[in-house]
Structure 1
Amino acid sequence: MKIVVLSSHTSSLYWFRMDMMKDFIKRGHSVIALGSEPEVDWKEKFNKHNIDYRQLYVERNGINPFKDLKTLKYLYQLMREDKPDKVFAYQAKTVVYGSIAAKLNGISDFYPLIAGLGSIFRGRGFKNTIIKTIMKTEYWIACKFSKKIFFQNNDDKNEFIQNRLIKEGESIIINGSGVNIEKFKPTPLPQEPTFLFIGRLIKDKGIIEYLEACKKIKWKYPQIRCLLVGPFDSNPSALKPEELKPYLENEVIEYFGEQTDVRPFIAQCSTFVLPSYHEGTPKTVLEAMAMGRPIITSDAPGCRETVIDGVNGYLVKVKDVQSLINKMEFLINNKNTCKSMGQESRKIAKNKYDVKIINQSIMKIMGL
């Protein structure tokens, strides 16, 4: 079969969905991957895995309806010409416009993944309410044109049911994107306590809480390290470079920018921290778990699924810096707990989040 995989973020396609697309190919199917970045930068990288990469015109965070119509037109023409048998899509705009384009081309096998509801869906305010109302309508249409809807946590699924976007039985829960446990192997913990945050530098990821917690921790424990990996972003809640600057100048944070391989940085940390406000299931947390790290994350949708509180890490209150500091300080002073929690993380990653298990579930539902 010919399968189209849609995303509005090319690097996410490459790093988060590559194992899934390779499994499609292993079963004899062909894959076309569509993302927002130029083909000149990405086509060869995908071709090495026998995947045909195409650039999709899409504004990930824009609200211009004429530009969105351009996205829909492109998707409609591509599906008319390539005639895919099945379409897998994730991220809001590619889910919505991909579903409409598939329907207009008579493609019934459309499978969206709702990989976390963003800040707009859960935010407040007049402007946010208007945009959220539009998004709900669009998601309702997308779900009506879908054969099955994938969710990564029950909070998001229940949100859709409560808003009457789907009915019970129209969806299935999968345990995130999974993690390649053969690629992400356990490594020894460092001698000095070291904390690490990996993610886009947007406020909804809890970056401000992490920076503030690190500032207070470093004041009390100057020998510890606080690492930060991830790109600046165009999201409305994105952290600006000038907001990060004081933490760099005061040597609170060691910032390494965006990285193509996060394993060397996970290997440097003793605890992984992600105080996000909401997620689908955070891929970086799964990678840190697979490498044997305890996790401090928020008691929030998508995050709480990854941690058994007190077993492989701790859940902290959303937007609560002091709660975060308390758990960071405890693990600084309890290295044996840190080690045992890391071992539990690895066990959970193997038993629950192995990418092979996740992909088998996806392929079974998609009839592959």
Structure 2
Amino acid sequence: MPTHDAQPSTVVLVSNSSFFLYNFHRGVIEGLRDSGYRVVCLAPTDAHSAYLVDELRVEHRALGMEGKGTSLIGEGKSLLALLGTLLKLKPRYVLNFTIKANVYSGLACRLLKIPYTNNVSGLGTAFIHDSWLFRRVRALYGFANRGARCVFFENRDDQRLFMRLGLQKSTPSVVLPGAGIDPQRFAFAPQPQTPPLTFVLVARLIGDKGVREYVMAAERLHERYPQARFWLIGPSGISNRTAISDEEIAAWRERGVLHYLGEQRDVRPFLAEANVLVLPSYREGMPRTVLEAASMGRPAIVSDVPGCRSSVNPGVTGWLCEAANVESLEQQMQGCLDMPHAALMEAGQAARVRIEREFDQQIVVRAYLGCLQHTLDIELRKSVLATA
């Protein structure tokens, strides 16, 4: 049971965007809600905030947090606002997602003595690049992790790196299959039978996702395979230090090779029409878009980096290319263009089987519910002993 008194226990999920919580962790949100917890999503307001309330039937509280903000005054205000909100909500447990939320909410929870869990859903810019600022961020990350009840990782490479850098010390950690996938929602769809072959990249439009390499590879391939289609789906105007400008996107579209389809609330119709997903990212936790595509029977070309390499079985459910290497990506994409249709179908079917066996979201939901219940059971035992 999630509560030991008349009121349901409050669980707060903290993230740098409502978009992230709604799209990547709706399974955990629904699992908490259906188990009787009062669920509060604490994240900046965006177009998906209303979906959390109206569709998932949980609470949303606005959080002032900018992804690329580095001003000491601005960041200090964000931390103070977070402290104030947690004081008002008095949660029994806090689940943190994304780097800034892990650090800021982890620090706030340590100060307020609220039990919490950090989810390392990817290491992002602070680990891909190096500078005095990012080294300080990593040090704070380690301090926040060491106060957590558990740290969830989405791949073993990140877990090993954190252990090597001393960013969690003795804090227990668990490797999850990403955020998991609902195989019923992302149902298998047969590969399109007729040309043209269609590639699709689904990601936030930032440089670290390998978007520029994808565009360059597409433009090279278009000269030899003019019938092929190259789609790009994802939000622009991202608050990130490697965000791609609207002017650069407009230039791509003007050249007539890339079809930029903007941000899509539901990517399933586009995945059903595509043949191969492409994600040449520089680093990931466990790329959600690859799992969504695999669940629908689409193989993927991903970069050979932590997170991405775990999302495919190379040569069976997808293919690996070198990160930040246009020629390597172009070669793998050309391989798909020259591949018999039956081979693409076989790879897609193998991808679907792997999702059902290893990446069902119920594995993730059970891990979070188990962590919460373990903490509440410990609190109950302490309460009983204190009153004995």
Which TM-score tier does this pair reach, normalised by the shorter chain? over 0.9
The residue type paired with residue 97 of structure 1 is: Y
Residue 189 of structure 2: aligned partner: 187
TM-score by length of 2: 0.90
The residue type paired with residue 200 of structure 1 is: R
Residue 22 of structure 1: aligned partner: 30
Cα distance, 1:169 vs structure 2? 6.0
Query: Contact conserved, 2:214 with 2:280, CA < 8 A, in 1?
Result: yes
247 and 75 in structure 1: CA distance in 2 versus 1, 3 angstrom threshold: closer
Residue 147 of structure 1: aligned partner: 149
The structure 2 residue matched to 1:287, chosen from 292, 304, 322, is 292
Query: Contact conserved, 1:150 with 1:171, CA < 8 A, in 2?
Result: yes
Residue 382 of structure 2: aligned partner: none
Distance 1:48 1:155 in 2: 35
Distance 2:57 2:161 in 1: 37
Query: Contact conserved, 2:291 with 2:311, CA < 8 A, in 1?
Result: yes
Query: Contact conserved, 1:195 with 1:271, CA < 8 A, in 2?
Result: yes
Matched, 1:196 2:200: yes
1:51-90 per-residue CA deviation (whole Å, 9 max, x = no partner) reads: 1101011122111122122122122222222210000001
The structure 2 residue matched to 1:6, chosen from 8, 14, 17, is 14
The residue type paired with residue 245 of structure 1 is: A
169 and 59 in structure 1: CA distance in 2 versus 1, 3 angstrom threshold: closer
Q: Secondary structure at the match of 2:298?
A: coil
The residue type paired with residue 352 of structure 1 is: E
137-146 or 238-247: bigger deviation = 238-247
1:250-290 per-residue CA deviation (whole Å, 9 max, x = no partner) reads: 22111110010000110111101001010011111100000
358-367 or 147-156: bigger deviation = 358-367
Cα distance, 1:32 vs structure 2? 0.4
Query: Contact conserved, 2:128 with 2:282, CA < 8 A, in 1?
Result: no
> What pairs with 1:207-246 in structure 2 (closer than 5 Å)?
207-232=211-236, 233-246=238-251
Q: Secondary structure at the match of 2:66?
A: coil
Cα distance, 1:328 vs structure 2? 1.2
The structure 2 residue matched to 1:265, chosen from 270, 282, 285, is 270
The structure 2 residue matched to 1:350, chosen from 348, 351, 356, is 356
Cα distance, 1:168 vs structure 2? 5.9
The residue type paired with residue 227 of structure 1 is: W
> How many residues matched?
362
Matched, 1:367 2:369: no
Cα distance, 1:351 vs structure 2? 0.9
Query: Contact conserved, 2:14 with 2:101, CA < 8 A, in 1?
Result: yes
Distance 1:211 1:48 in 2: 35
Query: Contact conserved, 1:187 with 1:267, CA < 8 A, in 2?
Result: yes
1:113-137 per-residue CA deviation (whole Å, 9 max, x = no partner) reads: 011111232213xxxx211221122
> What pairs with 1:128-139 in structure 2 (closer than 5 Å)?
129-139=131-141
**Which of structure 1's runs of 4+ aligned residues deviate more than 4 A?**
none
Cα distance, 1:167 vs structure 2? 2.6
Q: Secondary structure at the match of 2:319?
A: strand
Residue 159 of structure 2: aligned partner: 157
Q: Secondary structure at the match of 1:351?
A: helix
The structure 1 residue matched to 2:312, chosen from 307, 330, 333, is 307
149-158 or 357-366: bigger deviation = 357-366
Please say which structure displays the higher CA radius of gyration: 2
Residue 332 of structure 2: aligned partner: 327
Distance 1:256 1:36 in 2: 24
Distance 1:44 1:153 in 2: 29
Distance 1:23 1:33 in 2: 14
Residue 174 of structure 2: aligned partner: 172
Q: Secondary structure at the match of 1:88?
A: strand
Distance 1:168 1:73 in 2: 28
Q: Which runs of 5+ in 1 are unaligned?
A: none
Quick one: percent identity of the two aligned structures? 32
TM-score by length of 1: 0.94
Query: Contact conserved, 2:18 with 2:48, CA < 8 A, in 1?
Result: no
Matched, 1:88 2:95: yes
Cα distance, 1:247 vs structure 2? 2.7
Cα distance, 1:142 vs structure 2? 0.4
9 and 225 in structure 1: CA distance in 2 versus 1, 3 angstrom threshold: same
43 and 251 in structure 1: CA distance in 2 versus 1, 3 angstrom threshold: closer
83-92 or 317-326: bigger deviation = 317-326
Query: Contact conserved, 2:96 with 2:117, CA < 8 A, in 1?
Result: yes
